[in-house]
């Protein structure tokens, strides 16, 4: 047999359920429930939480309570609270909430960029330059998300060169960390590794993260394949928020519980208490009146009940 | 980054849905529907199909129609039809159906062996010796399934040494191929690799297969990890038969569609037509009145409908 590769000893989880997850849930969630979710997550040991987004409520009504949610959180030392900022206006609003980090984004697909925000990839990143500059000047960290990093709904497969382009442009404007995001969940291990390698041409290994959606059930295999190339940061969504587990073609983020279970089983530390994490997921799913989308949560809850 | 490992160029899929899958469905399935399933599977390119089991209908009423199903199949050249035989009596009944292969089994857990069949691991394998001898004398292949190969409901974690013991005992009685079966779905990549390595001490790489259940959603990561140690045969169940996708703690086999999708994406050939495979799965799920348990099938059906 081949010798197993060395995997990272510790992995950082960026919990994106409150933002990427809830933004993709059709149903409204009260600000109090979102705040309770953030509290439950930090109590479970999460140290990076993407809380909300400062986008126009016209486009994303689910995040209209961004200021209320940010103000309502009882912050814990050592926890990094991040928010999505789509533009200068979003940053101006976001800074009032005193986030530790902002997230800017760009698609690795020219067609997606054109259709979604009506400009080229290069223009879309350039527009973020003043936002990044301003944030860094105030001591706020800046993370970049490279969406459509493996596939695009319009273009199909995305070449790693596109990811490399976005990574290079983000690096140029001062973005400190990039996430390689398979936002439509079509990635498989080798393609994901190729996309990560492309980003690694412009960022060191500890400044690149993996972000996978589980549309085809490949997300955990992709996480494992990412660990093999040394990636040690992943975006995940508690209880798989953002995709209804029972919907046809559900496209939710990979569940935090499932990733944590995999990591712990590989002897990789995360600092997260899996049982409390499951409770956090159950809490928000109860608020939504939905079943839990994490297979690990479902299996462990069945065991608890037995 | 680490260099990606060499993966097998071709993988053989052993479709166990008609047997392992349907045996674990509570609801009755007509023999005609089972036969139609086998036909659909071979039309999709499956070359190894575990058709039925010759166990007492008192214990497994779902398989009481074994003779009818075996007699009803229009066999295709190049397809291997296998059946489960729990003992001498099962083999005597099974041989009348002229299977190409029989499957014998033993648990890697002493506690499971004692509670399930009231004898030790060693005794359980020894009892199969005359069955194996008789089958081989008639030119029937013999495959062995090592159940509880990673974990046991009574003992918890199973040491690789137990798997090695069962593999050695099976080798001694003439079993030609062994499947390392995580029958309760608690396996994770490194533990699965350790169990496979244990079996590989007594069997060559092309005589060892992986058999994973998706209880914790880890099955595809385990398949990927198995490929890395060179394993090129997997048991899978079309549409995830055997586990209701919506049940708490569902423990079904990994879905054939999901494994085939992963393999093809890695550039590994299987000889299977994924679209026809999805149709086969839809056919049996329609007969059961159930939703499809394969994520790939759900995603691709949603795409077809769009």
Give catalytic residues of B, as residue numbers. Answer: 244
Distance (Å, whole) CA B285 – CA B238:
10
| Cβ pair A262:B197 closer than 8 A | no
At residue B225 the predicted structure's pLDDT band, cuts being 50, 70 and 90, is very high
Average pLDDT value for residue range A252-273: 96
pLDDT in tens, A110-149: 999 999 889 999 999 999 999 999 999 999 999 999 999 9
pLDDT score of A26: 83
Question: Residue B188 is nearest to which of A228, A250, A262, comparing CB atoms?
Answer: A262
Helix then strand then coil, in percent of chain B rounded to 5, is: 45, 20, 35
Lowest-confidence pick of A235-249, B20-34, B206-220, B248-262: A235-249
Please give the share of chain A, as a percent, with pLDDT higher than 70: 95
pLDDT score of A244: 56
Please give the share of chain B, as a percent, with pLDDT higher than 90: 86
Looking at the domain that runs over A12-305, which CATH code has it been given? Answer: 3.20.20.70
pLDDT in tens, B17-66: 999 999 988 888 999 999 999 999 999 999 999 999 999 888 888 999 99
pLDDT score of B116: 86
Give SS3 for A56.
coil
Q: Calculate helix-pair angle for A219-228, A256-265, nearest 10 degrees.
A: 40
pLDDT score of A187: 95
Distance (Å, whole) CA A237 – CA A259:
10
First to last CA, chain A: 39
Q: Where are the domains of chain B?
A: 12-305
Q: Are A38 and A78 in contact (CB under 8 A)?
A: no
pLDDT in tens, A33-44: 999 999 999 999
At residue A246 the predicted structure's pLDDT band, cuts being 50, 70 and 90, is low
Quote the tokens at residue B90. 């099962």
C-beta pairs of B161-166 under 8 Å, 24+ apart in sequence: B161/B198, B162/B108, B162/B109, B162/B110, B162/B121, B163/B108, B163/B195, B163/B198, B163/B199, B164/B198, B164/B199, B164/B201, B164/B202, B165/B108, B165/B121, B165/B122, B166/B106, B166/B107, B166/B108, B166/B121, B166/B125
Quote the tokens at residue A26. 């059709």
pLDDT score of B7: 94
Quote the tokens at residue A57. 């409520």
Q: Are A247 and A231 in contact (CB under 8 A)?
A: no
pLDDT in tens, B230-268: 999 999 999 999 865 555 455 789 999 999 999 999 999
The number of C-beta contacts closer than 8 angstroms across A and B is 134
Question: Residue A249 is nearest to which of B205, B224, B302, comparing CB atoms?
Answer: B302
Residue-averaged pLDDT of chain B: 94
Contacting residues of A for B229, CB less than 8 Å apart: 1-2
- Surface of B (284-303) touching A: CB under 8 A: 291, 294-296, 298-299, 301-303
Lowest-confidence pick of A53-57, A210-214, A248-252, B207-211: A248-252
Residue-averaged pLDDT of chain A: 94
pLDDT score of A5: 66
- Whether the predicted pLDDT of B2 surpasses 70: no
Q: Are A98 and A50 in contact (CB under 8 A)?
A: no
Average pLDDT value for residue range A204-219: 96
Residue B258's alpha-carbon distances to A281, B112, B219, B273, in angstroms, are 26, 30, 10, 13
- Whether the predicted pLDDT of A50 surpasses 90: yes
Q: Is B156 on the interface with A (CB under 8 A)?
A: no
- Whether the predicted pLDDT of B3 surpasses 50: no
Distance (Å, whole) CA A191 – CA A218:
12
State the complex-level ipTM. 0.88
Average pLDDT value for residue range B70-98: 97
pLDDT score of A252: 85
Chain B residue closest to A266 (CA)? B190
Lowest-confidence pick of A259-273, B49-63, B139-153, B240-254: B240-254
pTM, two decimals, is 0.92
> Which of the residues A217, A225, A296 would you substitute to probe the B interface, choosing the one with the greatest number of B C-beta atoms within 10 Å?
A217
At residue A28 the predicted structure's pLDDT band, cuts being 50, 70 and 90, is confident
Average pLDDT value for residue range B221-236: 97
Min Cα separation A208/chain B (Å) = 12
Contacting residues of A for B296, CB less than 8 Å apart: 216-217
Residues A198, A199, A200, A201: is their CA dihedral positive or negative? positive
Please give the share of chain B, as a percent, with pLDDT higher than 70: 95
pLDDT in tens, B278-289: 999 999 999 999
Residue A76's alpha-carbon distances to A13, A47, A66, B59, in angstroms, are 16, 9, 19, 56
| Cβ pair B221:A262 closer than 8 A | yes
Contacting residues of B for A1, CB less than 8 Å apart: 193, 196-197, 200, 205, 229-230
- Surface of B (201-260) touching A: CB under 8 A: 205, 214-218, 220-221, 223-225, 228-230, 246, 248-250, 255, 258
pLDDT score of A3: 44
Quote the tokens at residue A104. 């800017």
Give the active site residue among A119, A148, A152, A244. Answer: A244
């Amino acid at each position: 047999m081949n010798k197993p590769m060395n995997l990272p000893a510790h992995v950082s989880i960026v919990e994106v359920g409150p933002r990427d997850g809830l933004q993709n849930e059709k149903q409204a969630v009260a600000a109090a429930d979102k705040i309770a979710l953030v509290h439950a997550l930090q109590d479970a040991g999460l140290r990076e939480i993407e809380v909300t987004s400062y986008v126009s409520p016209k486009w994303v009504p689910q995040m209209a309570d961004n200021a209320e949610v940010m103000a309502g959180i009882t912050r814990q030392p050592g926890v990094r609270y991040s928010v999505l900022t789509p533009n200068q206006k979003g940053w101006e609003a976001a800074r009032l909430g005193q986030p530790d980090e902002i997230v800017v984004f760009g698609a690795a697909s020219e067609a997606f960029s054109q259709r979604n925000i009506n400009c080229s990839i290069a223009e879309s990143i350039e527009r973020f330059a003043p936002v990044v500059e301003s944030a860094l000047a105030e001591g706020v960290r800046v993370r970049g998300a490279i969406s459509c990093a493996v596939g695009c709904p319009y273009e199909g497969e995305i070449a790693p060169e596109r990811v490399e382009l976005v990574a290079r442009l983000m690096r140029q404007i001062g973005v400190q960390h990039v996430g390689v995001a398979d936002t439509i969940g079509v990635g498989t291990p080798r393609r994901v590794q190729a996309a990560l390698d492309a980003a690694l041409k412009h960022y060191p290994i500890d400044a690149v993260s993996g972000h996978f959606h589980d549309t085809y059930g490949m997300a955990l295999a992709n996480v494992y394949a990412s660990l093999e190339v040394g990636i040690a940061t992943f975006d995940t969504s508690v209880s798989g928020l953002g995709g209804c587990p029972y919907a046809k073609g559900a496209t939710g983020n990979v569940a935090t519980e499932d990733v944590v279970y995999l990591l712990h089983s590989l002897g990789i530390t995360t600092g997260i208490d899996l049982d409390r994490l499951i409770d956090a997921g159950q809490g928000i799913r109860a608020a939504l009146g939905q079943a839990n989308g994490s297979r690990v949560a479902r299996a462990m809850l069945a065991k608890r009940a037995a």
